[in-house]
Amino acid sequence: KPTSLNVFKNWRSRYACQRASPLVCVNQALAEELAVLGEARELEGLRVNALAYERAVSLIKSYPYHITQEAYKRDLVKLPGLGSKTMSKIQEFISSGSISESRTTCESERYQSLSLFSKIYGIGPVNARKLYDIGCRGIEDLERYYDVAPGSTIESVEEDLVTPDRKKIPKNKIPDLPIKISLALREDFAIPIPREEVEEMHGVVMHELDLIQPGCVSTIVGGYRRGKPYSNDADIVISHSDIRNGANIIKGLCKRLTQRLHASGVITHVMHLSGFHAHNALRTEHWDSLEKALTVLVLPSKGKEKRLHRRLDLIFASPAAYWTAVVGWSGSKMFERDLRLWAKTEKGMKFDSSGMTRRHDSKLLIPRSEEEVFDCLGLEWVDPTMRNA
Ligand code: TTP
Ligand code: MN
Ligand code: MN
Ligand code: MN
């Protein structure tokens, strides 16, 4: 069904968290063409330039009309945050239907390699460039460099977290564990996960959790919640219904559930388990203090159907942090970035997945619903399916 234009009424707003951003927008081809330039800058370590393009993409995603010369002159020139570089690229797209720099970029070997490498979980732009500089071009080169054959068995867990009796491996001996796992399982990971399968993953996880701790509550977050028909992983935020004692109940539950699912063979690999130590390589701006497990799961087979390895992220929050965790993990990345920026610059508050605090007196605000998170931040409600900024 067509979305009412009224949903998009805030398209002029500076912050992505004030705007409606659908999964697929009216000017999708332009958005994708600009996104290439943003990604290329990011891969080259030009964060500020990348952000300018990412912001432009995000603004275009919220703009409800087809971008023509007329619309450009009437509306785009007045938008905050569209710089002259971006504007000339948009001009070029309006007159020719593509952006020449985006085309050249897509064809360049360097972009193709860096882009491919950075899609491996655990490889960021810095790492990708290092690999390129020592001569790596394709996935086979990475397999050689990291000494992983496709489908090979990788020591599946971090240290003694899941197999307590195993001899403790010093951390510096396995710095590339997530990368090795991602390489070994890349053929499975390349196949996107349909919504029904995300729901099945959620069902299996919550069934097991209920056996060790009844009364838990959960929300599937991430791209699934934003309406993506296919996801790269399943992200689940979990808490407990006991508002008074939930924080104690949740403590340590992430590790217990992960151990249990690993023991029963549902979780095959653990890339990261938080609360103990954090892999610097995996640190992102998103880091929060919640307990989480970044894992790989294989669903029990139905009949003779072979199930694929799937990425599964479990995030545990106390009842007080549940709704900020749900908002903080629903994304998109740009929506989250502007949520934090909005909270800080416009409201004198600090927002992250683990809570909202008023900065002048450090008071922690405890929302009882997702709507209350938006209320506390002085934001109009944005439906999760409109957070694809
Ligand atoms: P992801 O699972 O990495 O991404 P996604 O769910 O949006 O899309 P897909 O899995 O299909 O590729 O992250 C889950 C959410 O966590 C994401 O929607 C936003 C948030 N997040 C950040 O804000 N910053 C980050 O660096 C990461 C990794 C996630
Ligand atoms: Mn990466
Ligand atoms: Mn996800
Ligand atoms: Mn995820």
Ligand 2 centroid distance, CA of 9 (Å):
35
Contacts 24+ apart (CB under 8 A), 282-287: 282/122, 282/178, 285/337, 286/328, 286/333, 286/336, 286/353
Task: Determine whether the shortest distance from the Cβ of 338 to ligand 1 is under 6 A.
Answer: no
Q: What is the predicted pLDDT for the residue at 277?
A: 40
Give CA–CA dist 131/125, Å, rounded: 10
Nearest-CA residue for atom 14 of ligand 1: 222
What is this model's ipTM?
A: 0.94
Task: Determine whether the shortest distance from the Cβ of 122 to ligand 1 is under 6 A.
Answer: no
Nearest-CA residue for atom 13 of ligand 1: 222
CA distances 166 to 5, 247, 345, Å, are 59, 31, 49
Specify the pairing of strand 291-298 against strand 309-316: antiparallel
CB atoms near residue 373 (< 10 Å): 22
Ligand 3 centroid distance, CA of 326 (Å):
13
Average pLDDT of every residue of the chain: 91
Q: Is residue 164 scored above 80 in pLDDT?
A: no
* Ligand 1 atom nearest 192 alpha carbon: 11
Confidence at 155, pLDDT banded by 50, 70, 90: low
Task: Determine whether the shortest distance from the Cβ of 259 to ligand 1 is under 6 A.
Answer: no
Q: Average the pLDDT over each of 75-79, 257-261, 269-273, 275-279 and give the range with the smallest value.
A: 275-279
Q: What is the predicted pLDDT for the residue at 280?
A: 38
Q: Is residue 83 scored above 90 in pLDDT?
A: yes
Task: Determine whether the shortest distance from the Cβ of 352 to ligand 1 is under 6 A.
Answer: no
Mean pLDDT across the stretch 361-387? 97
Q: Is residue 284 scored above 60 in pLDDT?
A: no
Ligand 2 centroid distance, CA of 40 (Å):
13
Ligand 4 centroid distance, CA of 84 (Å):
34
Q: What is the predicted pLDDT for the residue at 281?
A: 37
Task: Determine whether the shortest distance from the Cβ of 301 to ligand 1 is under 6 A.
Answer: no
Q: Is residue 282 scored above 50 in pLDDT?
A: no
The overall pTM is greater than 0.90: yes
Percent residues over pLDDT 90 in the chain: 85
Q: What is the predicted pLDDT for the residue at 1?
A: 55
Residues 349, 339 contacting (CB under 8 angstroms): no
Confidence at 279, pLDDT banded by 50, 70, 90: very low
Read off φ and ψ for residue 194, nearest 5 degrees.
-70, 160
